[in-house]
Structure 1
């Protein structure tokens, strides 16, 4: 065991702080008992957790679709940390191992069609930490099944380990969309998911790439991440057709693929009007339950509309891509807070004036 790992284990803090919300839209720190790992479980000291848009949504809105906050609910699912204890039967990890946490735990029963066929993200009995009624990983100590922990190589720090979760979302979109070398691509939205999708599309060989957003600062960040990306600042008053024309002019052609990373109805429409005959709009963003789309336009141009639900089998690939230097996640973290200042971190993440991209909560 390394000296660093030994320090991480022996410096255990007595208070297990967690960040929670409730049906009254309160946000607060809570002290909880330190859990003990059961069979084939590991006790993790969570060292880094990113605040996801869904965390803010559960806090502010109290639901995402049919997933409703009905009681106290712990937040957070983008996490990495260090193993500080193991339960009976654990064979893959030992104290001091650095890990990323995959937070969707399927039932894995042989009678479950989705688990049996490898589509475990569709398991109806999945436990997804931070999705009601399951508490999240935004806490100091968290018990996690060893099968859903991924070892972090030495070249990845805890912040990068926590960013593997949003990268997994992007990689799932890249896989399901079938993007190929030289495909002209549009990305709608330069928030955290839009930016990791930009990095993933670049690694996949998409070219040219245009990214659009309402916020000039986010477009500047996109340009700093990938110099060759072409940026367009859109206005809320612009129609989908107008945005589509600007996108086609910037690409020099129509998009074969449009990754929609906001979920906003106007943005979905813009993506549709940017696509060529036989193109595809791939929606990653989370929007309103019901939306209006140009049905006849899509029909006459054979434009496909596809979606994804979370991800499966992406973490090993994400780790390899970051380790090899094909995707650099470090610039995405713009704000860092201690666990004790978690409430302030959420205020920063939910306030556009802060110009935050990814806010992380760290516990050293």
Structure 2
């Protein structure tokens, strides 16, 4: 166990399945004049972090070497490179944790979230942000307005995921939107859809406490599926919410196959379906309904150009409240117990405070 009294850059490191430790690592150096050094103050626990801790891999991404966890963070600038012009020491920033290469076709085409050489925090082999210090390019840091807290800043990462999903769905004023999954991202999708002017926002989940929270957070109504076919659930969902021929937009933030099916069936002809949640790598899919309705189907992956900036703007203007999602904050030294709490399904969003030696 690393002594916290003398640690310079204490980091929370995953060594293997359920094997974590605190390790003092060197303070990272600024190797690019456009980079900044950030003293990380708060980090949210994401489902992917827990998945790596629980299983050691996500799809083709396998933890082969010790890896620092965490990617939902905010902090304070402690050093700036010689070419940095937009930030100064002491600035409080939300941290976008994926650094694209800026050279591949997706990057040059404006879709850097699809970068072929993305270096994303806490995705093997790249270390994450659960450390005292972390380095980012200045343009991946978003200065927080004075009235926003660093805790809110840490929520900009999941909010940016939701912003990207809702932008993929092209939600517009007056539309009806059904969101499957009332976890953090699903709840934030509801909030963003509301901010975009949707007239009906319906959250779907199989856990009543989550639906209870969703109802007082950012929805017009909620829905709990029954143990019947997706077609039957979709029909009841339409009837109970006066959706007529169907919803304009369906968003899945759960990754659950029954939700995917119900989402396709609840849409009107010509509706839009966006897959934001990741579940099994392959599922059965109601392709006939998707074709005969001539649906627009889109995937959504992380966040792209303008998403973080819009996320900060939505919270700054009061259109989206992320504070309500914060269940609690634990000390850095209690990170492992926090992971266990999140794995057990307790709370909505738990934050780990930064290490202060």
Taking structure 1 as the reference length, what is the TM-score of the superposition? 0.91
Corresponding position of 1:276: 268
Please say if residues 279 and 304 of structure 1, whose CA atoms lie closer than 8 Å, have aligned partners that are also in contact: yes
After superposition, residues 229-240 of structure 1 pair within 5 angstroms as 229-235=220-226, 237-240=227-230
Superposed CA RMSD? 1.7
| Counterpart-to-counterpart distance in 1, 2:276 and 2:343 | 20
After superposition, residues 188-207 of structure 1 pair within 5 angstroms as 188-207=180-199
Query: How far is the alpha carbon of 1:61 from its aligned partner?
Result: 2.0
Is residue 29 from structure 1 mapped to residue 22 from structure 2 by the alignment? yes
| Counterpart-to-counterpart distance in 2, 1:218 and 1:317 | 26
Q: 2:10 aligns with which of 4, 8, 17?
A: 17
Corresponding position of 2:36: 42
Query: Mean alpha-carbon deviation: is it higher for 267-276 or for 88-97?
Result: 88-97
Question: Which whole-Å deviations, capped at 9, do the CAs of 1:148-202 have from their partners, x for residues lacking one?
Answer: 1111110111111111111111111111111111111101010000000000000
Query: Mean alpha-carbon deviation: is it higher for 54-63 or for 32-41?
Result: 32-41
| Counterpart-to-counterpart distance in 2, 1:168 and 1:13 | 36
Q: 1:341 aligns with which of 313, 317, 334?
A: 334
SS in 2 for 1:231: strand
Corresponding position of 1:76: 70
Corresponding position of 1:9: none
What runs of 5+ residues in structure 2 fail to find an aligned partner?
A: none
Going from structure 1 to structure 2, the CA distance change for 1:95 and 1:257 (only over 3 Å counts) comes to same
After superposition, residues 261-340 of structure 1 pair within 5 angstroms as 261-313=253-305, 314-340=307-333
Q: 2:237 aligns with which of 247, 263, 268?
A: 247
What runs of 5+ residues in structure 1 fail to find an aligned partner?
A: 1-11
Question: Which whole-Å deviations, capped at 9, do the CAs of 1:185-233 have from their partners, x for residues lacking one?
Answer: 101010000000000000011121211111111111111213x521112
Query: How far is the alpha carbon of 1:54 from its aligned partner?
Result: 0.9
Please say if residues 8 and 25 of structure 2, whose CA atoms lie closer than 8 Å, have aligned partners that are also in contact: yes
Please say if residues 186 and 247 of structure 1, whose CA atoms lie closer than 8 Å, have aligned partners that are also in contact: no
Query: How far is the alpha carbon of 1:14 from its aligned partner?
Result: 4.1
Question: Which whole-Å deviations, capped at 9, do the CAs of 1:46-82 have from their partners, x for residues lacking one?
Answer: 0011111111111112222222222211111111000
Please say if residues 184 and 251 of structure 1, whose CA atoms lie closer than 8 Å, have aligned partners that are also in contact: no
Q: Count residues in correspondence.
A: 347
| Counterpart-to-counterpart distance in 2, 1:217 and 1:142 | 36
Please say if residues 17 and 52 of structure 2, whose CA atoms lie closer than 8 Å, have aligned partners that are also in contact: no
